[in-house]
Structure 1
Amino acid sequence: MLHLAFVSMILCAPPPLVAPTEALSPAGEAAGFRLPPGFEAQLVAAEPDISKPMNLAWDDRGRLWVTDTLEYPYPAKEGTKPRDTVRVLSDFDPVTGKARKVSTFADGLNIPIGLLPLPSGKTTRCLVYHINRVLLLEDTDGDGRADRRETLLEGYGTADTHGMTNSFTWGHDGTVHATHGFANDSKVRDRNGVVLAMQSGHTYRFNVDGTGLELWTRGQVNPFGMARDDSGNLFTADCHSRPLYSLIRGSSYPSFGKPHDGLGFGPEMCPHDHGSTGIAGCCWIPAGFWNVKDPEQLIIGNVVTSRVNRDDVQWKGASPRAVELPDLVASDDLWFRPVDMKLGPDGAMYVADFYNRIIGHYEVPLTHPGRDRHRGRIWRIAPKGMDRAIPDLGTNATAEALAARLGDRNPAVATLALNQLASRG
């Protein structure tokens, strides 16, 4: 009996936080992916074109934006130019899915995480978090590089570089929702002088002009990943508490050392933990999207087990419950670290792979020589043979064409069309 218990313990043991294997080429890594029947994984970008991807976002011109770091886990020292960037991927090969163009929209950034391209217009603009503020970056002369920077929000704590603000997500009302992570003490000030104090896990929102800053929910430990469904419900992925939460405005959620008062405590959504305390990225998929039999799903990255997990979202009245589904991706390569995922306007799932021997921030010394600084990949996961067309939802699209997309079955398309229409006044 003791022998069986020991064997069971070994078989159920979590993967090591320091992978005992060596790095693989992108092709070697892809060979170890296990996907649902009929799905394929294609490489969109890899080193040296990108380094360590963190957050992904699509714009209305069909381009994929990515925050990219060399600095993590240590911020650039004062007086030195940071090496991190915002990159833009475009011109995707219709057969292989690879981005044939990778450009740098902005450099000199310091561990940028949260990212959101704004609707296209006379200039190209995006929001990005950069220690210790949220910037508006703008390309005013059309050369593809930001030449103007404006601070919208400032005062973020930076003690924990894996718990900084991230996952900028459009609300139905055009506000931007975001998460705030573990061990950071922030007193964020907006352009009207409003100050929001946050310590460890919280969510909040603000207007794209840097006003209207306000708290959305309290608690969670280190949320990294946010998604919105077509009814406007918001969900987050959290580390060290539960993998998924349904966000109810004004509610409180479990956190370290923060007992709640019994009032306004958000209900549990996900009773299981997917075998890990390290969850990153969150994406909502409507029912029947890839297959008519598929349920409504939330997809999250599991950086410890090297998997992309799925949950069936089952509703009882206004309360969702997450029921575990088979994984979207399971990898034989322990360096596979899926930290963000976004549904593309072509209907494929795009996964940011922070490819690394080590994933623990606190669990493994930051000085460990095994920490990789230069390898990173972005993967396209989709059913084989799926239509790859990416609609143009930017300034060239007519109002009639955009209006026709507001009910698109792809929520990424519907959101981009709505935002472009709204930007025209």
Structure 2
Amino acid sequence: LDGDGKADRREVLLTGFGVQDSHLFPHQFTRAPFGWFWLAQGAFNSGKVTSSKGEVTDFPSTRMARFRPDGSFFEPTSVGPCNIWGLVLTGEGEAFIQEANDYGYPVMPFHEYGLYPGCADRLAKSYQPPFPVQAPDFKMGGTGLSGLALSDVGVWPKGFDGVMYVANPITSKVNAIRQHREGSGYRLEHLDDFITCDDPFFRPIAMTMGPDGCLYVIDWYNKIISHNEVARNHPDRDKQSGRIWRIKPKGFVPQPVPDYTKLSSADLVARLGSKVTADAHLAWQTLADRRPEEGTTAALSAIVEDASASAARRIQALWVLAEHGQKVGPLAERLLADPNRNVRREAVNALRHFGAWSPHFEALAKLSADPDGEVRAAAIKALGESSA
């Protein structure tokens, strides 16, 4: 509040998380569309999470969860896999997670309420089919895949853009995977390693694409990486060093990063759909945090309706409108026939989270036969939660 860049107060929103294993505490905190925050928990922790309203939710073993920013609602949203140390949200709202132990899931789509085989299979519901192996033909090596980052298309050079980079601290590498859309899923292509290092202390444990267009890699910088094989008090355990690497293509000029809170709403609207995904996401989030303005609402509505705008720009404008509490029902329903599957899915999600159900029930019901599996799943979840 005093502008010094440090927190002025602390407020407890959620309590009761398991603390049985310190390297599996809640992590991957990510702001998601429609007023949610996501997080993940590791395999050996189990707790009973109490919301700010006093509601208690069982939260055992590895899984994803979502909560409201005020802590008023908390809900587990997956069963498994086995440690989720990587999460990516794209500009068009697709989400990808990672299974750490190299069981064939170095990257996979995240579907709410899905069953991801691994450490929590005992908690599966009878109606949950297991998510299929994504990499049946190759292994990454090691048992601690620890981060994901998707390079921006149109920002990084060809051959390096649109690539999912995988932090692999066990092998001291950053691996690379290209996803090829096939049917309602992806085929993974194992590319040459992006980074190799002969320094045994190099341990990439997390990555993200920054709003400047560069890749940032957190390097734990430790000779010993595992918590199992070597005593906690071993003298080779370095508890002081650590590095952050910024990686950019040769000749690339990083995009200037503003203070988004000081940009005008018009400037933020202009950044929606930016090819630098982190830039676009920060613009969406900053707009969503502001009070709705008549001129901004009109501009956002026009973007959503503009078929010539990029899918990412239209989707992010819809996210802001929905989080502002605007009546997005008629607008979202018109998007249900859009040729872009991600636009259709996010329109369904807007109706699911903020829509008035009865006028749109019939339109949603038609999407139960949509050619895209993710759109069908979103429609079925929405219909199942409706009161129509």
Establish whether TM, by shorter chain, passes 0.5: yes
State the alpha-carbon separation in 2 of the partners of residues 186 and 270 from structure 1. 32
The 1:393/1:147 distance shift into structure 2, 3 A limit, reads: closer
Partner letter of residue 203 of structure 1?
M
SS of the residue aligned with 1:372?
coil
Does the 8 Å CA contact 1:393/1:416 hold for their aligned counterparts? no
Unaligned runs of 5+ in 2: 292-388
Partner letter of residue 331 of structure 1?
C
Aligned residues: 286
Does the 8 Å CA contact 2:99/2:106 hold for their aligned counterparts? yes
Shift of 1:296: 2.4
Q: Who is 1:66 aligned against?
A: none
State the alpha-carbon separation in 1 of the partners of residues 107 and 91 from structure 2. 18
Once the two structures are superposed, what CA deviation does each residue of 1:43-69 show, in whole Å capped at 9, x if it has no partner? xxxxxxxxxxxxxxxxxxxxxxxxxxx
Does the 8 Å CA contact 1:185/1:198 hold for their aligned counterparts? yes
Shift of 1:390: 2.0
Q: TM-score, normalised by structure 2?
A: 0.70
**How do 1:42-191 residues align onto structure 2 when only pairs under 5 Å count?**
140-191=1-52
Does the 8 Å CA contact 2:153/2:275 hold for their aligned counterparts? no
Match of 1:292 among 158, 163, 168: 158
Partner letter of residue 67 of structure 2?
F
Alignment root-mean-square deviation, CA: 1.8
1:408 aligns with 2:274: yes
Shift of 1:374: 0.3
State the alpha-carbon separation in 2 of the partners of residues 249 and 216 from structure 1. 5
Partner letter of residue 194 of structure 1?
E
1:320 aligns with 2:195: no
Q: Who is 1:250 aligned against?
A: 113
Structure 1 stretch 150-159 or stretch 228-237: which is displaced more? 228-237
Q: Who is 2:143 aligned against?
A: 277
State the alpha-carbon separation in 2 of the partners of residues 292 and 373 from structure 1. 39
Does the 8 Å CA contact 2:91/2:281 hold for their aligned counterparts? no
State the alpha-carbon separation in 1 of the partners of residues 259 and 268 from structure 2. 7
SS of the residue aligned with 1:383?
coil
Partner letter of residue 166 of structure 2?
I
1:380 aligns with 2:246: yes
SS of the residue aligned with 1:169?
strand
Q: Who is 2:337 aligned against?
A: none
Does the 8 Å CA contact 2:81/2:120 hold for their aligned counterparts? no
1:268 aligns with 2:268: no
Partner letter of residue 229 of structure 1?
T
SS of the residue aligned with 1:375?
coil
SS of the residue aligned with 2:78?
strand
Does the 8 Å CA contact 1:233/1:246 hold for their aligned counterparts? yes
Percent identity reads 35
Shift of 1:363: 2.8
Does the 8 Å CA contact 1:393/1:417 hold for their aligned counterparts? no
1:303 aligns with 2:169: yes
1:423 aligns with 2:289: yes
The 1:385/1:174 distance shift into structure 2, 3 A limit, reads: farther
Structure 1 stretch 353-362 or stretch 321-330: which is displaced more? 321-330
Does the 8 Å CA contact 1:165/1:179 hold for their aligned counterparts? yes
Shift of 1:384: 1.9
Match of 1:207 among 52, 56, 68: 68
SS of the residue aligned with 2:146?
strand
Shift of 1:313: 1.1
Q: Tell me which protein shows more helix as a share of its residues.
A: 2
Q: Which one scores higher on RCO, CA 8 angstroms, separation ≥ 6?
A: 1
State the alpha-carbon separation in 2 of the partners of residues 257 and 342 from structure 1. 27
Once the two structures are superposed, what CA deviation does each residue of 1:366-421 show, in whole Å capped at 9, x if it has no partner? 23222110010000011122112323252221111111110100110000000111
SS of the residue aligned with 2:191?
strand
Q: Tell me which protein shows more strand as a share of its residues.
A: 1
Partner letter of residue 252 of structure 1?
L
Does the 8 Å CA contact 2:31/2:37 hold for their aligned counterparts? yes
SS of the residue aligned with 1:314?
strand
Shift of 1:257: 6.7
**How do 1:198-237 residues align onto structure 2 when only pairs under 5 Å count?**
198-237=59-98
Once the two structures are superposed, what CA deviation does each residue of 1:141-196 show, in whole Å capped at 9, x if it has no partner? 22222220111111111111111111111212231111111211121111122323
